Amino acid sequence: MARPRMHKARILVVFAIAVMVLPAITDALAADDATIKVGMRYDISTLNMLEMKLGSDIPAILLMNQGLIVPHPETGERIGLLAKTFQVLENGKKIKVEMYQGARFHTGDPVTAHDVKFTYAECANPKNSNMMAGALDEIEEIEIVDDYTLIFHFWEAYAPWEELMWIGICSKKYYEKVGPDKFRSHPVGSGSLRFVERRIGEYVLLEVADGYPLYSPKGYPGESYSFKYLKIMTIPDDMTRLAMLETGELDLVGEILPHQLKRLNGNKHVKIKKSDQVPSLIGIACLPNTDPLMMDRNLGLAIRHAINRQEIVDKIFLGEGYPLYLYATKAELGHDPSIAYAYDPQRAREFLAKSSYKKGMPLTFTYTSMVPNAPLVAALIQKYLQQVGITVKLQQLEEGTAATYTRNRDKRLGHMRLYQWPGSRDPNLRLWLSVLSTSDYATATNRPRKAEMDALILAQTREMDKAKRAELIRQIHEIMEYDAIGTRLFGLNMIYGMSDRVDYTWTPKEPYYPHLQRIQLLK
């Protein structure tokens, strides 16, 4: 008689446990249904704006932290977010900023000019090794006029000042209260999403902050949230990311390669979108710093005319791109679609015959995984150059090693290198990093018109008149094209896919997953 009573008791216990557990399971399932999952190739190294190291950190940081300006999600044009107005003073040496009142950090504290000054000072602080530190050296000081007004003082007029105004503002009060370690492990911001959890190498989990945004900047479209959580997942392997998109384990994946489209187009639960207005520039850097031969203009012209750019785009990228000829992406100031080089092997041979290149001399061509399908691109370029009489030896390096070789002028880098620049809407940073002769990363430190080129780069930085600045940039490109040190190859469309339960449109002119908070949950 005892056994039946024990059995009945167990049933009651199990039932009681089920009553308690089922709501939790239901809540967990509901939370999962309300979670948007984005797959990225590179891990987010930090959520701390003050210590930002990589471009891959930007999407999550700007979801949590508002900047003074933001790209309009539909046009890509810069508009004020925390900043209500900008006023250019003293011909560009000072920028006066009036901020909106109403923005608050997730702690409840207001976002003020004091927080702006603190954030910029810490981003520029060498101890934080911030990727923006070099660019922020242009700022001499930040003057606080009142709680919502400040003036950026530049050492000299600085034309691309807007490119410094996107930085996500952090809470000075919270940082001073909790210290750098807690600030790093549990950051807070004023954006519409707030921090929940981070597992290094796996994911970052953000939650929609109730009631945010707290105010509506002029010209910025309103936002409504159909999801509760956003999970940014690190999936380094391309095929794994696509498989997870197909099975519904991911909702959004970017940087899809064209040859992967056929597979995805066969899945009725996956939607594909494309844009050619995302900055993209892939080219060949000739390296006279490692061998003066690469300064030879006739050799440079031979290389330019020997390469069939359209065939590279069509064969390797299935038409999902376009030839490029200038050192400028389609999305930036200075791009001129009227400039092009004919694919002309015979003309390439004629230039080669006038050059100092000796037949049979091997030129080492370095590539890294930074460029999509780099081994195929490098092999096809090798074929083009060999067809006109240039012997090419291919060399694959890890990207960090190649960057170190570039900085150290190490001959092991070779004669040419395949590169990719993710780009921006303004060419200033790239010109200073890779063309200015005094830069650590300049590939040609002794070009024939070095003094003139350096003067033009400096002048375009200081020229506040947009038309005059555009003319200076045109002259820079003119010298680069005449010198023929290096050649541009092509740009690629951004191809991105999403599950049929969401909808999202990439913001023009932005290279890194912009405005993820605007993903719409449809199901």
Give the pairing type, strands 281-286 and 270-275: unpaired
Instruction: Check whether residue 397 and residue 481 sit in a common domain.
Output: yes
Instruction: Check whether residue 388 and residue 501 sit in a common domain.
Output: no
Tokens of 84: 């209500």
CB contact at 8 A, 44 and 235: no
Instruction: Check whether residue 126 and residue 141 sit in a common domain.
Output: yes
H-type alpha helices, 34-140: 58-64, 113-124, 133-136
Distance in angstroms (rounded) separating the CA atoms of residues 501 and 102: 34
Confirm whether 29 is domain-assigned: no
Q: What percent of the chain has pLDDT over 90?
A: 75
- pLDDT, average across residues 317-337: 92
- For residue 22, what pLDDT is reported? 37
Q: Enter the pTM of the model.
A: 0.84
List, in sequence order, every residue forming a beta bridge with 274; answer none if it has no partner.
Answer: 495
Instruction: Check whether residue 372 and residue 515 sit in a common domain.
Output: no
pLDDT averaged over the chain? 90
In this model, does residue 404 exceed pLDDT 70? yes
Of 361, 271, 283, 269, give the one whose Cα is nearest residue 324: 283
Instruction: Check whether residue 261 and residue 377 sit in a common domain.
Output: no
In this model, does residue 202 exceed pLDDT 50? yes
Distance in angstroms (rounded) separating the CA atoms of residues 282 and 328: 10
Domain count, the chain: 2
CATH number of the domain within which 292 lies: 3.10.105.10
- For residue 403, what pLDDT is reported? 84
In this model, does residue 213 exceed pLDDT 80? no
Instruction: Check whether residue 290 and residue 257 sit in a common domain.
Output: no
- For residue 134, what pLDDT is reported? 85
Return the HEC string of 231-271: EEEECCCHHHHHHHHHHCCCCEECCCCHHHHHHHHCCCCEE
Confirm whether 11 is domain-assigned: no
In this model, does residue 3 exceed pLDDT 50? no
Confirm whether 250 is domain-assigned: yes
Q: What percent of the chain has pLDDT over 70?
A: 94
Confirm whether 90 is domain-assigned: yes
- For residue 19, what pLDDT is reported? 39
Instruction: Choose the weakest-confidence range: 81-95, 157-171, 220-234.
Output: 220-234
* Amino acid, single-letter form, for residue 300: G
Instruction: Check whether residue 66 and residue 90 sit in a common domain.
Output: yes
Instruction: Check whether residue 505 and residue 435 sit in a common domain.
Output: no
Confirm whether 28 is domain-assigned: no
Instruction: Check whether residue 208 and residue 88 sit in a common domain.
Output: yes
Confirm whether 33 is domain-assigned: no
DSSP 164: G
Confirm whether 60 is domain-assigned: yes
CB contact at 8 A, 397 and 388: no
* Amino acid, single-letter form, for residue 455: A
CATH number of the domain within which 92 lies: 3.40.190.10
Instruction: Please write the tens of the pLDDT for every residue from 106-128.
Output: 999 999 999 999 999 999 999 99
Phi, psi dihedrals of residue 286, rounded to the nearest 5°: -85, 145
- pLDDT, average across residues 305-330: 96
In this model, does residue 273 exceed pLDDT 90? yes
- For residue 151, what pLDDT is reported? 98
Instruction: Check whether residue 484 and residue 517 sit in a common domain.
Output: no
Instruction: Please write the tens of the pLDDT for every residue from 463-512.
Output: 999 999 999 999 999 999 999 999 999 999 999 999 999 999 999 998 88
In this model, does residue 2 exceed pLDDT 90? no
Distance in angstroms (rounded) separating the CA atoms of residues 254 and 430: 24
More confident residue, 406 or 216: 406
Instruction: Please write the tens of the pLDDT for every residue from 141-166.
Output: 999 999 999 999 999 999 999 999 99
- For residue 32, what pLDDT is reported? 63
Distance in angstroms (rounded) separating the CA atoms of residues 392 and 82: 52
Tokens of 249: 């384990």
Distance in angstroms (rounded) separating the CA atoms of residues 79 and 162: 10
Domain that holds residue 300: 281-492
Tokens of 243: 């498989």
Tell me how far the alpha carbon of residue 66 is from its chain's centroid: 17
Distance in angstroms (rounded) separating the CA atoms of residues 256 and 495: 5
- pLDDT, average across residues 341-347: 96
Instruction: Check whether residue 255 and residue 172 sit in a common domain.
Output: yes
- For residue 425, what pLDDT is reported? 85
- For residue 29, what pLDDT is reported? 37
Instruction: Check whether residue 327 and residue 259 sit in a common domain.
Output: no
Confirm whether 7 is domain-assigned: no
HSE value, Cβ hemisphere, 13 Å, CA-based, for 312: 29
- For residue 311, what pLDDT is reported? 98
